[in-house]
Amino acid sequence: MTNLAVAQWLQEIAAAKAKAQAKATPSPPNNNTSQDDVSPGREQGHSNTNTNKTTCGISNNGSDHSTSNTTNTTTRSKTTTTTCSTSSCPQHGIITSYNLKNRKKQLQLILPPEPIKPGPGECCGNDCDPCVNTIYWEDLAGYKDRVKKLEAEYEAACKALESGEETQEKESANLSAITREIIKEEEEEEEEEKEALEQEGLSIRSYKPFKILQKRYLTENALLVICDVPYPKPMKTLGGPSQYRQDIITKALFHILIRFKGEDQYLTKAFTPVDLSSRSSRSNNDNSSNNNNNNNNNSNNSVNVALGDKMAFLVKLYPSPHATSDMFRQLQEYNYLEDRIVEDAGEEEEEKGVLYLRGPIQTAKDQERNRDLALKKLDEELKDKSIGNRNKSIINDDSRPRERRKKERIVMIAAGSGITPMYQVLRVIHHYNNNHNHHHRQQRQQQQQQQQQQHQSDKREAFERIVSQELDLVYCNRTSSEIWLRQELQEICLTGQVHDDNDHDHDNKNNSAALTQPIEMHSASSSKESQESRRKVLTRKMRIHHVLSSSCTDHDQDLDGEKECRHHQGCSRHHQCERVNIGGRITLDLLRETLRGNIMSASDVGRVNTDSIQHSSFLEEEEEYLWILVCGPPLFNTDVSKMLDQLGYKNSDRCEIHILE
């Protein structure tokens, strides 16, 4: 052996000893490990999984070295050292190492951990997309494909090292091309997951723990749970009316999966979150204060300020024994004074004050309908562009051109906790209308003096977009005390009326006046302008019809057989938007009248005049597109579906039905 070879060999030994000593030094425990990447109860199984490692050693003269399977990286690091140029070596892949004891170079194949199969009860059974089982089989297929590629490349590398065909560049390279590609993909996935965690806090592929900020009983059987995760904000920009309706269905209607860990399996249920940016955290019944302690009552006023942007869940509780209800009753608020996430904390202690969520998701049936709807609307838009201006306008009573368009209505039929997805849609519509009207008021103020004629044209176009939006809600409950979000629905109904664009005051006094009499424009000097304002109030409205199966003393029977609540404090004026029918259930006749738009709220009584009748004849010339949303218990959904089928309402080019489960 020449002096040059000896010197080079000594340098390699010195460098290898230094790296081996650095690697053998125990690193401090990583306390930053979060539960966000793994599910509860599965961390232990993940950490105990032995990673498959195969070592292939080749001597300098080409003789084979014994092949062995190692499972302890600490023991291996005392005898071998890798030639990784990076500060931290990958957890799996093909690694070139050097055995100091035998003076042999060797290759190590470290396989990635196998995906963990979902445990019993982790699938909610609601046909979610994606389902946890679907995610597992997709990950397992990708895992098997990666293992095949790594094993094939490992065999090729071993043969090349055996025959001595490996070059100096290949000897110095510690990772193969496939290994680097796999590591790059994993880094990209981690970055995407981190970005999603920072933006929304939720993951559609795995359950993540979120702190429970507040837990309050609104009624005897209604529980409000607020989690430390932001509620998705409504979209800032929307397209035309057709695109707007499409976004309502595809974006507003989403569910969150909540998972509990039972004694022997997981329990998973789907819930619709509630937006707390308005007043949805209040109790809807004054009698519910008897069920709350003083601390809960004092916190009512602070919810909107501190927790207004957080995601909340309204849960209906059933008498024990009931698995889901019992789990929610056992939930505890997160205690920041005892904030402890330590390495030796027990699993039971770590789960206190947190809720495991996954989402947002939609049911597969709804997604299929939404995709078909999007394609259908795209075809309609392309067809309209090809036709041109053939059916662009018609002439009405005052000989002014008006754009022909579809009159769009949304009919919501809910029962019990099924009001939560309906409230989602109403909040998005309310948010859109407020921004839309505010934008047009600012635009008209800027153009009022210079472009008076163009201003009038813009006003008519805005009127046509708003006039076609009508909402009908049929809400079924047992008693009035079980009506969820009643005050919030009444407020949306109140502010949902179309007001004069020149009216800049939005206080409660003006809003109340909008319900009792037609609004006349301040600048109106002719009967035509006042007639147009009356048309707005008549044709653009939200109507609520409560159907209660049991009677209660809080209602007084009217002459027409319907009953109206009069005792609710602070919102008696809102009840002009709704009607309450007691002592029955939803019937075929009630559903028929609602779908036809013949149900009038109390605020409409005495409104109809000759001007409105003339305008209604104009509306009949417009084509109506109907959205029907149904959500309630399974039996309720089945009964309503049968009624819709009897009335002839099916999915078509003018009707879209969504049964939410």
Q: What is the pLDDT of residues 315-360, one digit of tens each?
A: 989 888 888 899 999 998 888 776 554 444 444 444 678 899 988 8
Q: What is the pLDDT of residue 308?
A: 64
586 and 489 housed in the same domain: yes
Q: What is the pLDDT of residue 163?
A: 75
What is the 8-class DSSP label of residue 166? -
353 and 435 housed in the same domain: no
CA angle 428, 430, 436 (to 5 degrees): 100
CA angle 373, 377, 379 (to 5 degrees): 120
| 613 pLDDT tier (thresholds 50, 70, 90) | very low
- Output the six-digit token pair for 347: 């699993």
Q: What is the pLDDT of residue 622?
A: 54
- Output the six-digit token pair for 251: 């974006």
| Alpha-carbon span 21 to 156, nearest angstrom | 31
pLDDT value at 421 more than 80: yes
Would you say residue 127 lies in a domain? yes
464 and 541 housed in the same domain: yes
Q: What is the pLDDT of residue 476?
A: 92
Lowest mean pLDDT across 443-457, 499-513, 531-545: 499-513
**CATH for 450:** 3.40.50
Percent of the chain's residues with pLDDT above 70: 44
Q: What is the pLDDT of residue 505?
A: 41
| Alpha-carbon span 577 to 583, nearest angstrom | 20
The model's pLDDT over 11-23, given as tens digits with 9 standing for 90+, comes to: 777 777 777 766 6
| 643 pLDDT tier (thresholds 50, 70, 90) | very high
Range of the domain at 420: 409-499+510-518+528-565+572-619
218 and 189 housed in the same domain: no
**CB hemisphere CA count around 165 (13 angstroms):** 6
The model's pLDDT over 453-490, given as tens digits with 9 standing for 90+, comes to: 554 444 444 434 433 467 889 999 888 888 888 888 88
Q: What is the pLDDT of residue 88?
A: 45
556 and 470 housed in the same domain: yes
- Boundary of a domain, candidates 361, 394, 426: 361
CB 279 within 8 A of CB 488: yes
pLDDT value at 548 more than 70: yes
Q: What is the mean pLDDT of residues 28-57?
A: 44
Q: What is the pLDDT of residue 474?
A: 92
pLDDT value at 383 more than 80: no
Lowest mean pLDDT across 54-63, 321-330, 414-423, 592-601: 54-63
Q: What is the mean pLDDT of residues 362-383?
A: 62
Would you say residue 394 lies in a domain? no
Q: What is the pLDDT of residue 3?
A: 62
Would you say residue 652 lies in a domain? no
418 and 556 housed in the same domain: yes
Q: What is the mean pLDDT of residues 183-208?
A: 70
pLDDT value at 115 more than 70: yes
237 and 289 housed in the same domain: yes
**CATH for 325:** 2.40.30.10
Top mean pLDDT of 82-91, 104-113, 313-322, 400-409 is at 313-322
pLDDT value at 36 more than 70: no
Burial class (CB in 10 A: 0-12, 13-18, 19+), 113: middle
Would you say residue 648 lies in a domain? no
pLDDT, greater one: 655 or 623: 655
Q: What is the pLDDT of residue 13?
A: 76
Q: What is the pLDDT of residue 413?
A: 92
Would you say residue 629 lies in a domain? no
Percent of the chain's residues with pLDDT above 90: 4
pLDDT, the chain, mean? 64
| 432 pLDDT tier (thresholds 50, 70, 90) | low
**Buried (b) or exposed (e) across 326-340, using 16+ Cβ within 10 A?**
ebbeebeebeeeeee
pLDDT, greater one: 581 or 382: 581
The DSSP line for 342-354 is: -TT--HHHHTTTE
193 and 212 housed in the same domain: no
Q: How far is CA 54 from the centre of its chain?
A: 44
Q: What is the pLDDT of residue 393?
A: 42
Count structural domains, the chain: 3
Would you say residue 203 lies in a domain? no
Would you say residue 625 lies in a domain? no
| Alpha-carbon span 441 to 419, nearest angstrom | 32
Lowest mean pLDDT across 402-411, 503-512, 548-557: 503-512
Would you say residue 399 lies in a domain? no
pLDDT value at 251 more than 50: yes
Lowest mean pLDDT across 65-79, 163-177, 547-561, 577-591: 65-79
134 and 231 housed in the same domain: no
pLDDT value at 543 more than 50: yes
615 and 486 housed in the same domain: yes
Is 638 annotated in a binding site? The answer is: no
190 and 241 housed in the same domain: no
Q: What is the pLDDT of residue 50?
A: 43
Q: What is the pLDDT of residue 46?
A: 41
**Buried (b) or exposed (e) across 16-43, using 16+ Cβ within 10 A?**
beebbeebeeeeeeeeeeebeebbbebe
pLDDT value at 273 more than 80: yes
- Boundary of a domain, candidates 326, 361, 396: 361
Top mean pLDDT of 41-45, 97-101, 289-293, 503-507 is at 97-101
Lowest mean pLDDT across 43-52, 364-373, 500-509, 514-523: 514-523
Q: What is the mean pLDDT of residues 599-618?
A: 43
pLDDT value at 428 more than 80: no
170 and 223 housed in the same domain: no
pLDDT value at 215 more than 70: yes
Q: Which residues contact 120 (CB under 8 A, 6 or more apart)?
A: 264, 265, 266
Q: What is the pLDDT of residue 636?
A: 92
